[in-house]
């Protein structure tokens, strides 16, 4: 096991102080959105001797374990992040493995540079995600029942000509109405901009309403504050809003449309940079690929609670092949055997202090510090703190 130092990412939606506070560093007043721990080429973490993690893996593939070498081509298949949002991110989804491979090959044949602004597929990998809240965390994720969305819009008191935009939610069967309205709301014309004004103006009258209508109205006004007049705001209102409390999580499978709104959490994902944006952004929107990838099924996305595997060890059981995630709640005097010994693992401390020991070697990590644990190492954790452990999912 070796200490690991992550890569800082500054995006304008990030919060100013949440991640610096976790890392134990001073805030410089600029947004700090993400802290990456992994071997992704856009933000490679460094081992204690300064070696980039991807170079260490290339020189010693056995540190990953057999599963990662055989199933994932000798690459670390997951990426661990601290994420902190002060304002909403773009409306987005990610492809499954088959779509990613096809899209990546298609854009390579078109000779699109990997960093081209109109490039959608930057690698041939899927990107499932798990977000675990460290603070109260708000997100839009998964489509609401279309008739329920139509009812909420009507209860706002929108104009008849605006109601016509959403009529397919009531009159078309299954996911067809959702898909039609969602894509229609990505059209940047004056009629759609007028509909945004109508919806937001109506929503202001219901900000203090109880229950789902008030929550719906507050979501509309929040999005308009950050994306004024953007028709994709209407598309975003077709999604369910979730509020996670610390320790709760959402599992976002490929094709699930989502947008994080605010809060701080630990995000674990497949190590990929494939993002298909569906609005609330100035970046490229690939409508053709979006239609192929998005799952327009309206099914409730359930809040995920971890399962206790042993005292102090909690597993977020989601069945992903690329990654598995545990939370460690350590108290003085208790030793916790770390799971997934056959996998290379990353451990990130999010509160207090965690000590790691092999019997002959030891390492103490404070809040914000992390370590890479090579495959085959039997590790026990102790201390008084909280940490997250991530391994290859097939070794869970």
Q: Which domains does the chain have, with CATH numbers?
A: 2-140+244-293 (2.60.120.10), 151-227 (no CATH), 307-395 (2.60.120.10)
SS3 296: coil
The confidence score (pLDDT) of residue 320 equals 96
Give the angle 303-308-309 at the CA atoms, nearest 5°: 135
The confidence score (pLDDT) of residue 273 equals 87
Q: Which of 359, 348, 358 shows the shortest CA–CA distance to 388? A: 348
Contacts of 372 (CB under 8 A, 6+ apart): 1, 2, 4, 45, 47, 53, 63, 344, 345, 346
Residues 316 and 371: beta-carbon distance below 8 Å: no
Phi, psi for 139 (deg, rounded to 5)? -150, 150
The confidence score (pLDDT) of residue 186 equals 86
pTM of the complete model: 0.95
Which residues on neighbouring strands pair with residue 242, listed in sequence order? 139
The confidence score (pLDDT) of residue 111 equals 95
pLDDT in tens, the chain (396 residues): 999 999 999 999 999 999 999 999 999 999 999 999 999 998 999 999 999 999 999 999 999 999 888 899 899 999 999 999 999 999 999 999 999 999 999 999 999 998 898 899 989 999 999 999 999 999 999 999 999 999 999 999 999 999 999 999 998 887 899 999 999 998 878 888 999 999 999 999 999 999 999 999 999 999 999 999 999 999 999 999 999 999 999 999 999 999 999 999 999 999 998 999 999 998 888 888 888 899 999 988 999 999 999 999 999 999 999 999 999 999 998 999 999 999 999 999 999 999 999 977 899 999 999 999 999 999 999 999 999 999 999 887
Catalytic residues, which ones?
A: 277
The confidence score (pLDDT) of residue 380 equals 96
Residues 82 and 234: beta-carbon distance below 8 Å: no
């Amino acid at each position: 096991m070796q200490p690991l130092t992550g890569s800082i990412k500054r995006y304008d939606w990030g919060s100013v102080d949440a991640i610096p506070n976790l890392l134990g560093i001073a805030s410089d007043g600029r947004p700090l959105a993400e802290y990456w721990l992994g071997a992704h080429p856009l933000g490679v973490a460094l081992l204690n001797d300064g070696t980039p993690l991807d170079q260490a893996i290339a020189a010693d593939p056995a540190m990953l374990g057999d599963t990662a070498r055989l199933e994932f081509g000798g690459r670390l298949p997951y990426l661990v992040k601290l994420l902190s949002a002060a304002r909403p991110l773009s409306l987005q989804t990610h492809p499954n493995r088959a779509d990613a491979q096809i899209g990546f090959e298609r854009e390579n044949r078109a000779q699109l540079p990997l960093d081209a602004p109109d490039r959608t597929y930057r690698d041939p990998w899927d990107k499932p995600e798990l977000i675990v809240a460290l603070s109260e965390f708000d997100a839009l994720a998964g489509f609401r029942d279309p008739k329920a969305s139509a009812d909420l819009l009507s209860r706002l008191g929108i104009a008849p000509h605006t109601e016509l935009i959403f009529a397919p939610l009531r009159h078309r069967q299954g996911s067809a109405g959702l898909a039609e309205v969602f894509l229609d709301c990505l059209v940047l014309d004056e009629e759609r901009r007028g509909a945004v004004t109508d919806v937001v103006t109506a929503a202001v009258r219901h900000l203090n309403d109880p229950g789902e209508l008030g929550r719906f109205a507050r979501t509309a006004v929040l999005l308009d504050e950050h994306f004024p007049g953007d028709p994709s705001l209407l598309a975003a209102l077709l999604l369910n809003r979730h509020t996670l409390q610390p320790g709760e999580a959402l599992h976002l499978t490929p094709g699930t449309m989502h947008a994080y709104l605010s809060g701080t959490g630990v995000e674990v994902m497949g190590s990929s940079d494939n993002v298909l944006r569906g609005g609330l952004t100035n970046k490229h929107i690939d409508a053709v690929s979006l239609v192929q990838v998005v799952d327009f099924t309206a099914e409730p996305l359930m809040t995920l609670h971890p399962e206790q595997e042993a005292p102090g060890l909690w597993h977020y059981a989601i069945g992903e092949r690329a990654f598995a995630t545990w939370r460690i709640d350590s108290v003085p005097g208790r030793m916790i055997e770390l799971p997934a010994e056959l996998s290379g693992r990353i451990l990130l401390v999010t509160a207090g202090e965690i000590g790691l020991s092999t019997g002959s070697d030891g390492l103490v990590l404070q809040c914000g510090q992390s370590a890479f644990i090579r495959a085959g190492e039997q590790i026990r954790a102790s201390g008084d703190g909280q940490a997250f452990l991530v391994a290859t999912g097939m070794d869970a």
